[in-house]
């Protein structure tokens, strides 16, 4: 009888270890549906050569701080599952000219950092062309693994959203931090 009990106990321990390992690795039923894109070469902002900003927000040439070329807003977040959200966002061209060949890259990080190890979701969207003051609105599904959702919970519910807007002639990076849980 003790041999059977020991064998069943060993099987239960192995099963729990396997489930725990899958959870930690984000595999099996714990795996998130990815955006389907590998953004290993995430673009970064290119510095403007015409003005340099000082710490107080004014330009080095003495003028007032300029309006950023793009505005990115999160319009709504709707629950589509325990670790799934449908996120509607809008990109607005705030320039006085047309922006062409626009691609938007977004990474969501657990917590208030942008360390590569904290990435919980990434995706990109080809926007095309936006005239001056024109906007583009889209809804993307952000489906996290249980592991990624746990990482956000461990960061007190905070996420950092880093959005890079790449156009034919410039690249601009915008960051926002939100408490989501």
Residues 76 and 145 in one domain: yes
Statement to judge: residues 74 and 134 lie in one domain: yes
Which two structure tokens, joined as six digits, stand for 122? 């990434």
The answer to whether residues 25 and 76 belong to one domain is no
Q: Within this chain, do residues 133 and 74 fall inside the same structural domain, yes or no?
A: yes
Which range is least confidently modeled, 17-26, 29-38, 40-49, 52-61? 52-61
Which phi and psi angles does 92 have, rounded to 5°? -120, 130
Domain count, the chain: 2
Same domain, 18 and 78: no
Specify the pLDDT at position 9: 56
Q: What is the pLDDT of residues 49-71, one digit of tens each?
A: 333 333 344 444 445 568 899 99
Distance CA 101, CA 2 (A): 70
Task: Please give the share of the chain, as a percent, with pLDDT higher than 90.
Answer: 58
- Please give the average per-residue pLDDT across 148-175, as a whole number: 94
pLDDT of 27 higher than 60: no
Alpha helices in the chain (DSSP H): 2-25, 146-154
* Domain match, 176 and 87 both: yes
Whether 61 is in a domain gets the answer: no
Instruction: Please state the rounded mean pLDDT for residues 111-134.
Output: 94
Same domain, 76 and 16: no
Do residue 81 and residue 140 come from a single domain? yes
Q: Identify whether the C-beta of residue 115 lies closer than 8 Å to the C-beta of residue 109.
A: yes
Closest to 77 (Cα-Cα) out of 43, 108, 102, 31:
108
For residue 101, give its domain range. 69-181
CA 65 to CA 48: how far, in whole Å?
13
Residue 180: pLDDT over 80: yes
Average pLDDT, the chain: 79
The DSSP secondary-structure symbol of 53 reads: B
Closest CA to 107 of 25, 168, 174: 174
In terms of domains, do 22 and 93 share one? no
Within a domain: 51: no
Give residue 95's Cα distance to chain centre: 24
Whether residue 154 sits in one domain with residue 94 = yes
Indicate whether 103 belongs to any domain.
yes
Q: Is residue 79 part of a domain?
A: yes
CATH number at residue 153: 2.60.40.10
Lowest-pLDDT range, 18-27, 36-45, 114-123?
18-27
Selected residue with higher pLDDT from 55 and 21: 21
Under a CB-based contact definition with an 8 Å cutoff, are residues 141 and 29 in contact? no
């Amino acid at each position: 009888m003790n041999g059977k009990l020991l064998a069943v106990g060993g099987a239960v321990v192995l099963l729990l270890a396997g489930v725990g390992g899958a959870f930690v690795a984000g595999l099996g039923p714990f795996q998130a549906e990815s955006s389907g894109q590998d953004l290993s070469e995430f673009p970064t902002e290119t510095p403007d050569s015409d003005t340099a900003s000082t710490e107080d927000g004014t330009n080095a040439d003495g003028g007032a701080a300029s309006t950023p070329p793009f505005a990115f807003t999160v319009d709504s977040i709707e629950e589509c599952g325990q670790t799934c959200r449908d996120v509607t966002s809008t990109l607005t061209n705030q320039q006085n000219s047309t922006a062409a060949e626009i691609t938007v890259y977004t990474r969501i990080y657990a917590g208030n950092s942008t360390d590569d190890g904290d990435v919980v979701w990434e995706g990109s969207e080809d926007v095309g062309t936006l005239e001056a003051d024109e906007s583009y609105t889209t809804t993307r599904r952000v489906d996290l693994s249980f592991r990624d959702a746990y990482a956000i919970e461990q960061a007190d519910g905070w996420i950092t959203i880093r959005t890079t807007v790449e156009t034919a002639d410039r690249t601009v990076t915008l960051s926002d931090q939100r408490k989501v849980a």
